Amino acid sequence: MKHEKIIIIDFGGQYAHLIASRIRRQQVLAEIHQPDEVSFETLSDTAVKGIILSGGPQSVYDADSPKVDTRIFELDKPILGICYGHQFMNASMNGKVTPATAFSREYGRAELTHEHNCPLFKDIPKTSVFWMSHGDEVSKLGDGFIGVGNTKDCKNGAVWNADKNFFGIQFHPEVTHSEYGNQLLKNFLDICEVSGDWTIEQFLAEHSKELAEKIGNKNVFLFVSGGVDSSVCFAFLTKILGAERVKGLFVDNGLLRADEKEFVQQSLTAIGADLTTLEEAETFLGNLKGLSEPEAKRNVIGNTFLDVQKKFFAANKLDEDWILAQGTIYPDTIESGGTKNSSTIKTHHNRVPEIQKLIDEGKVIEPVADLYKDEVRELGTLLGLPKELVWRHPFPGPGLGVRTLCSNEQIEAELPNKKFKEHEYTVLPNKSVGVQGDFRTYRHPAVLMTNETNISTLEKIATEIINHDENVNRVILPLGTQTGFETATVNQCDINHERLDILKRADKIVTETLLQQNLYQSVWQFPTVLVPVSFQTGQESIVLRPINSIDAMSASVGKLPWSFFESVTEKILEDERISKVFLDITSKPPGTIEWE
């Protein structure tokens, strides 16, 4: 069946594939193409009803920045440019793009006001929240464009060429927390006059055939974690191949949450998995000994998984008749620099070099790598998986390995007193991963001093501080007392059993309290993070990271009752090894969901 389609030109933005996901939710097929590889003939095809130019990590004025054939602007097709795409389109039509000033850089929430009855903003309030992530801006409009939207920091936040049906927007409508992002994309699809004929049911049918052809007569071994991604993979492959040809391999890597192994074994056995469990905790912890750098830890975890798999295959005489499967989903490939022009935000453990080599050689399959978390859950429901498994909180493949922060040195630091507007804060000496302007950042967390308890307000304050302070990519709030922040100690440490036990205890308190207070489904995910920073007492701090999201590509802070945070903080601080408990009030972007 030949579908009508929207083509997305991928300039390497972290959200390029998320655009496709949003389009597909409108039952319209979206295809992603590289700017220097897509042919003009492909773009000219009558099935292509519109073109979207994605964001990207580079600057359009750089000599090596990605470019697409500018003849696309001569086609009689609607075009939507997003972020870099907006800048590229204007620059290609005699406009100008320049670096944004310190006060016009925007990462996160921004209020945009539109005007001139632009059809892209049909049924969208005059002023609404959209998500920004940019360090450049259009300073002179391209030929035929007028400004139709702005924020307080970005004059040309939205532009329109009415004669050509071209639209440029500096913000990201595809990000979940752009309040009217879906409406804006729906408006663009209406402008493109697409009928909509693509569904998850068609994905299941079409990909079942493709996977069956790719696997051929081989059997499949799937690394399973008990999370939704690998569980749906298992059910998907079993439906295609039959239960006798699909085996699950669960590895206890020592980085699991409390009682995790038992849950995984029970839940996967319940759906008919042929499951083998390997006890490899000492192997993983031994390989992680002495490591502190996040990328090094992720690489070791990924490579150790591969070593364990090889050892198991050899011991059980599994030969070329077997192929490896893993539950990688789109965000994992994107943040790992998995599209040609994208910048690495973090290397997923399923994307370390050795595994990537196997993927390139066709020895690894990834049945849900084209889907986002919400689509994986929809597929899982379609395949008949139980609700408690489909809607379980996501848990990263490297497990607590990326929630146990480490340091290769001992740091004693006096903390600065800083202020932006009326907001007082200090900056800690340790660092965490973030994503700003499509690039990975490795910067410091700020500690906000305030009595404010409205999480939406705190989230706005965090965005303002991060946009203001170039040394910061995350803001946290002390829970309990806000005294004792004159100095801080970063303790030299790696991952070990004692530190993991501290984290497991705190994580269990959080999970049990969520369940007891009937709040588990009120958040999408809730990482609990161990940070080797102390303040006069104890050796560690705990960071609570409640998240609301749909697909992990963007996220806001989970809006839980303040009494919940008071309750878990009191219980966590009963452990004298814990110095402070913090609440992470950073959206994504600019902070990643995980701290590493």
Question: What are the structure tokens assigned to 397, written together?
Answer: 């493949």
What rounded mean pLDDT belongs to the chain?
89
Q: Are residues 428 and 534 in the same domain?
A: yes
The per-residue pLDDT for range 10-60, each reduced to its tens digit, is: 998 777 878 988 898 899 989 888 999 899 999 999 999 999 999 988 899
| Interatomic CA distance for residues 551 and 370, integer angstroms | 12
Preceding amide of 590 cis, omega within 30? yes
Q: What angle do CA 458, 565, 559 make, to 5 degrees?
A: 50
Q: Is the pLDDT of residue 342 over 60?
A: no
Q: Is residue 594 part of a domain?
A: no
- pLDDT more than 70, % of the chain: 92
Beta strands in 211-312 (DSSP E): 219-223, 246-252, 275-279
Q: What's the confidence (pLDDT) of residue 539? A: 95
Say whether both 454 and 520 belong to one domain: yes
Q: Indicate whether 12 and 154 sit together in one domain.
A: yes
Whose tokens are 């502190």? That residue is 292
- Residue 292, domain member (yes or no): yes
For a pLDDT cut of 90, what percent of the chain falls above it?
Answer: 61
Q: What is the pTM of this model?
A: 0.74
pLDDT category at 119 given cuts 50, 70, 90 is very high
Same domain for 170 and 240, yes or no, is: no
The secondary structure of the chain in percent helix, strand, coil, rounded to multiples of 5, reads 35, 25, 40
* Tens digits of residue pLDDT in 390-448: 888 988 878 999 999 999 999 999 999 999 999 999 999 998 877 665 566 789 999 99
Q: Which residue has the higher pLDDT, 421 or 320?
A: 421
Does 387 have pLDDT greater than 90? Answer: no
Indicate whether 237 and 369 sit together in one domain: yes
pLDDT average, residue stretch 537-546: 97
Same domain, yes or no: 205 and 142: no
Phi, psi at 329, each rounded to 5°? -120, 175
348 belongs to a structural domain: yes
Task: Give catalytic residues, as residue numbers.
Answer: 83, 172, 174
Assess if residue 596 is contained within a domain. Answer: no
Residue 590 lies in a domain: no
Same domain? For 135 and 231 the reply is no
* Two tokens, residue 202: 């068609």
Q: Which two tokens stand for residue 35?
A: 């700017």
Task: Extract the tokens encoding 313.
Answer: 């295959």
Structure confidence at residue 348 (pLDDT)? 46
Work out how many domains the chain is built from and give that number. 3
Report whether pLDDT(345) > 50. Answer: no
Residue at which a domain ends, from 149, 174, 192: 192
* Residue 86 falls inside a structural domain: yes
- For residue range 253-308, what is the model confidence (pLDDT) as tens digits? 999 999 999 988 888 887 778 888 999 999 999 999 999 998 899 899 988 988 88
| CATH code, domain carrying 375 | 3.40.50.620
Which residue did the predictor score with more confidence, 591 or 125? 125
- In this structure, are 219 and 265 located in the same domain? yes
Tell me which of 399, 431, 461 is where a domain ends.
Answer: 399
For 414, the 3-state DSSP assignment is: strand
Both 180 and 318 in one domain: the answer is no
Using left for φ > 0, alpha for ψ between -120 and 50, and beta otherwise, residue 337 falls in left
Same domain, 282 and 182: no
CATH number at residue 134: 3.40.50.880
Q: What CATH number corresponds to the domain at position 444?
A: 3.30.300.10
Question: What pLDDT shows up at residue 337?
Answer: 52
Q: Where are the alpha helices (DSSP H) in 271-336?
A: 281-288, 294-315, 330-335
Q: What is the predicted pLDDT for the residue at 77?
A: 97
CA distance 3 to 48: 9
Query: Token digits for 154?
Result: 């970005």
Minimum mean pLDDT among 380-384, 450-454, 504-508, 576-580: which range?
380-384
Q: Examine the fold and report which residue of 146, 170, 192 is the final residue of a domain before the chain moves on.
A: 192
* Per-residue model confidence (pLDDT) at position 74: 94
Range of the domain at 158: 5-192
589 found inside a domain: no
Which residue in the block uniquely carries the two structure tokens 């991604």?
A: 229
In this prediction, residue 465 carries a pLDDT of 95
